[in-house]
């Protein structure tokens, strides 16, 4: 059970508010920068002669986009939320906030140095999501360690004996990711098949044990808070937590089906990918049953629709992953653009929408400043339609690519088949980028802008404690 609302409010301190604001502004700047890069990348598919300088080449910009959205945007946005949620659900101010400030510096040094070195062609090779050189990764790891100390210190000083479920997920994310990060830089796993196995472990768990845990922790706090009712089932939350831990760490090898990795190891990854349905259904059902009967409240809120889309894409993207892992379907989709559609369904439809819902739902409570409603509506619809077009077009285009390869057609036939879908992806990407500009405008209004644009708001309603 979380602390009572009165003790939560008493726990709020000016420095905690400033931290939430600083993390959100920093994350927003990285969102703009790295998705501008993503947008340029998406136009390079239909127009391969666009921006041919080495500094703007696909090979350098792609990891800038992926690492930047992961570690500069999503990690920072969700860590800002985590500090707020863990302190509020513990009924205490954040312990040692200086550590949280130091972590923000480390996150930003890592994202900046990582982007600059990648653009100069200095990298750790082609291991996805760990292309940063080791000393850049160390800054990111330092940020995680500093954040974890501040979070655990806060939970240790909590007002009530129970640890609310959101805090399990949020603290767990840092513990698992520190283990993951250290494993990824151990020198004896950097060659041969061992490297492939570790890469599968790292890349999938960067999504599964880091972003998924952060987003679920955010949902377990923000949904009940904004809906003004307790979470449907605490037990389902606990079931989801432990079954995520059981199944997630082993499924990474499904990225390397048909590779020289042992066949039994690939099969184990597929079986555990099916097992992932347990935490996914437990989590989705819990959230859906919490929302049930409160649609009027969702309709009147500017924050809740983002969380609802996050829950829907959590279910769709994750169950798509289970289906995609089956060998018969990997035979078609392996190495095609279908996978890129899946990445954006999960990292954008689920993780990014939950981060936005958390910020819209919780930040105005801290600053007393509301977003512009028109910009929030535009943000929501452009991002939702944009990402759905993005995912839909690459799912069809990727399937056509895979079928062409299976039929043994000349490679250029698969390029021609996919090219209209690359144009559609660029259109969807443009809509998503305009949505990010609307979000940035609203972050300005929720932080640096003038106070109280609107009086009582639907998002601010729901002052009951989350339980
Ligand atoms: C305007 C919004 C965005 C656009 C236009 C965009 C575009 C792209 C493009 C063109 C690629 C390269 C695909 C390829 O190699 O075939 C890519 C990869 C990727 N992007 Fe984005 N992106 C956007 C937002 C995001 C966000 C917000 C995230 C995460 C929070 C993200 C995560 C990823 C990931 C994980 C990959 C690697 C996909 C894979 O290898 O499966 N993207 N994106």
Q: What is the pLDDT of residue 5?
A: 57
Q: What is the pLDDT of residue 22?
A: 98
Mutate to test the pocket of ligand 1, among 38, 347, 395 (most ligand atoms within 8 A of CB): 38
Q: What is the pLDDT of residue 278?
A: 98
Mutate to test the pocket of ligand 1, among 46, 340, 383 (most ligand atoms within 8 A of CB): 340
Give 160: exposed, middle or buried? Use CB within 10 Å, 0-12, 13-18, 19+: middle
Cα dihedral 403, 408, 409, 410 sign:
positive
Question: How far, in Å, from the CA of 102 to the mean position of ligand 1?
Answer: 29
Question: How far, in Å, from the CA of 243 to the mean position of ligand 1?
Answer: 28
Q: What is the pLDDT of residue 188?
A: 86
The closest residue, in CA terms, to atom 8 on ligand 1 is 38
Q: How far apart are CA 42 and CA 55, in angstroms?
A: 16
Atom of ligand 1 nearest to the CA of 436: 1
CATH, domain range 5-447:
1.20.210.10
Mutate to test the pocket of ligand 1, among 51, 252, 343 (most ligand atoms within 8 A of CB): 343
Question: How far, in Å, from the CA of 340 to the mean position of ligand 1?
Answer: 7
Per-residue pLDDT tens, the chain, 467 aa: give them: 455 555 555 556 889 999 999 999 999 999 999 999 999 999 999 999 999 999 999 999 999 999 999 999 999 999 999 999 999 999 999 999 999 999 999 999 999 999 999 999 999 988 899 999 999 999 999 999 999 999 999 999 999 899 999 999 999 999 999 999 898 888 888 889 989 999 999 999 999 999 999 999 999 999 999 999 999 999 999 999 999 999 999 999 999 999 999 999 999 999 999 999 999 999 999 999 999 999 999 999 999 999 999 999 999 999 999 999 999 999 999 999 999 999 999 999 999 999 999 999 999 999 999 999 999 999 999 999 999 999 999 999 999 999 999 999 999 999 999 999 999 999 999 999 999 999 999 999 999 987 655 544 444 433 333 33
Residues with beta carbon inside 6 Å of ligand 1? Answer: 35, 38-39, 41-42, 62, 65-66, 69, 74, 337, 339-340, 343-344, 347-348, 351-352, 429, 432-433
pTM value > 0.85: yes
Atom of ligand 1 nearest to the CA of 430: 1
Q: Strand, helix or coil at 127? A: coil
Closest CA to 213 of 186, 188, 247, 177: 177
CA-based R_g, the chain, Å? 21
The closest residue, in CA terms, to atom 24 on ligand 1 is 35
List, in order, residues 6 or more apart from 343 with CB less than 8 Å away: none
Cα dihedral 120, 126, 132, 135 sign:
negative
Q: How far apart are CA 1 and CA 72, in angstroms?
A: 32
Residue 188 has a CB neighbour count (10 Å cut-off) of 8
Give 455: exposed, middle or buried? Use CB within 10 Å, 0-12, 13-18, 19+: exposed
> DSSP letters of 347-393?
IIIIIIHHHHHHHHHHHHHHH--PPPHHHHHHHHHHHHHHHHHHHHH
Question: How far, in Å, from the CA of 152 to the mean position of ligand 1?
Answer: 33
Q: Which two structure tokens, joined as six digits, stand for 285?
A: 């059902």
Closest CA to 114 of 135, 93, 100: 135
Q: Domain residue spans in the chain?
A: 5-447
Q: What is the pLDDT of residue 456?
A: 43
The closest residue, in CA terms, to atom 20 on ligand 1 is 66
Q: What is the pLDDT of residue 179?
A: 94
Question: How far, in Å, from the CA of 38 to the mean position of ligand 1?
Answer: 6
């Amino acid at each position: 059970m979380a602390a009572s609302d009165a003790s939560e409010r008493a726990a709020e301190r000016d420095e905690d508010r400033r931290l939430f604001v600083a993390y959100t502004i920093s994350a927003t700047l990285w969102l703009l920068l790295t998705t501008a890069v993503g947008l340029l990348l998406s136009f390079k598919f239909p127009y391969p002669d666009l921006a041919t300088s080495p500094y703007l080449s696909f090979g350098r910009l792609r990891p800038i986009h992926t690492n930047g959205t992961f570690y500069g945007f999503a990690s920072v946005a969700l860590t800002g939320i985590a500090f707020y949620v863990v302190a509020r659900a513990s009924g205490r101010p954040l312990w040692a906030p200086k550590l949280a400030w130091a972590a923000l510096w480390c996150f930003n040094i890592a994202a900046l140095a990582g982007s600059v070195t990648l653009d100069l062609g200095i990298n750790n090779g082609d291991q996805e999501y760990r292309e940063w050189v080791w000393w850049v990764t160390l800054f990111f790891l330092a940020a995680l360690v500093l954040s974890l100390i501040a979070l655990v210190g806060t939970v240790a000083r909590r007002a009530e004996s129970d640890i609310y479920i959101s805090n399990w997920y949020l603290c767990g994310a840092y513990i698992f990711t520190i283990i993951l990060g250290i494993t990824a830089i151990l020198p004896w796993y950097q060659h041969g098949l061992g490297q492939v196995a570790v890469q599968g472990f790292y890349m999938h768990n960067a999504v599964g044990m880091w972003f998924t845990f952060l987003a679920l922790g955010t949902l377990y706090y923000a949904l009940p808070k904004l809906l003004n009712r307790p979470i449907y089932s605490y037990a389902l939350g606990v079931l989801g937590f432990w079954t995520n831990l059981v199944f997630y760490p082993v499924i990474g090898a499904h990225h390397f089906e048909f590779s020289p990795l042992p066949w039994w190891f690939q099969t184990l990854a597929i079986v555990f990918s099916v097992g992932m349905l347990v935490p996914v259904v437990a989590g989705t059902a819990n959230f859906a049953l919490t929302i049930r009967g409160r649609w009027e409240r969702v309709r009147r809120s500017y924050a809740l629709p983002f969380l609802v889309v996050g829950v829907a894409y959590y279910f769709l993207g994750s169950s798509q992953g289970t289906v995609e892992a089956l060998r018969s379907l990997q035979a078609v989709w392996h190495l095609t653009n279908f996978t890129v559609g899946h990445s954006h369904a999960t990292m954008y439809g689920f993780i990014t929408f939950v981060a936005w819902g958390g910020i819209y739902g919780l930040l105005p409570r801290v600053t007393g400043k509301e977003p512009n409603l028109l910009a929030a509506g535009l943000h929501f619809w452009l991002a939702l339609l944009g990402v759905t077009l993005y995912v839909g077009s690459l799912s069809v285009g990727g399937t056509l690519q895979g079928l062409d390869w299976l039929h043994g057609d000349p490679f250029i036939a698969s390029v021609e088949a996919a090219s209209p879908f690359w144009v559609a992806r660029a259109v969807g990407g443009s809509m998503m980028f305009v949505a990010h500009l609307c979000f940035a405008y609203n972050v300005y209004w929720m932080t640096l802008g003038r106070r109280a644009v609107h009086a009582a708001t639907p998002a601010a309603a729901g002052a009951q404690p989350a339980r």
